[in-house]
Amino acid sequence: MRYPTPRHLLCSLCAGVAVLGSMGSAPAMAQAKSIQTPYQNPKALIDIYLDDPAKLGSALYWLRGLVNPLTEAPYSMFAEDMNIVVLMHGTEIVTLARKNEERYQEVVQRMRYYAGMGVKFKVCGLALQDFQYTANDLYDFVEVTPSALTELMHWQNRGYALITPQVHDKKFSIEQIR
């Protein structure tokens, strides 16, 4: 095995410096670039199945993360240009019962806001039976479907992107971890 001589090492170093010098001076640390992806009118199905109705507020941030950027500049889409379906079939169903209005007032107001923008809120009819509710027990912006699974299949077959919010128990505040 041949080892490089000091002269070879010096030549390699000079070549590296020459290459770097020809690249111009770059800052020691670059920053991220903001981009504007050319989004089209969305077709989205948000599948919500939670183990605790208190998590619905966090799950609705996924809806906000979809709608708000598209309705604001630079996209400025109109609500009627977006096709968004929210399908619920877990414990969050109790938030849709009018008798629980006082307890879940904040999330119901948020859902009403998005329903007013054209977002469709649907609930699984089978799950509704499990909770011993009927369509008459729910708010007027809610539609009852025969089954969540058949509804998921229906919308996906129509080309809707499936979004499943992941809601975890919060262990740290943002200030603690950043």
The Cα–Cα gap between 118 and 85 comes to: 9
Burial class (CB in 10 A: 0-12, 13-18, 19+), 128: buried
On average, the pLDDT of the chain sits at: 88
Confidence band for 91, pLDDT divided at 50, 70 and 90? very high
The Cα–Cα gap between 73 and 39 comes to: 12
Task: Kindly report, residue by residue over 133-143, the tens digit of the pLDDT.
Answer: 999 999 999 99
pTM as predicted: 0.80
Q: What pLDDT score does 169 carry?
A: 85
Q: Give which of 118, 111, 61 is closest to 84, Cα–Cα.
A: 118
Residue the block writes with tokens 């054209």: 118
Positive or negative: CA dihedral 140, 125, 133, 93:
negative
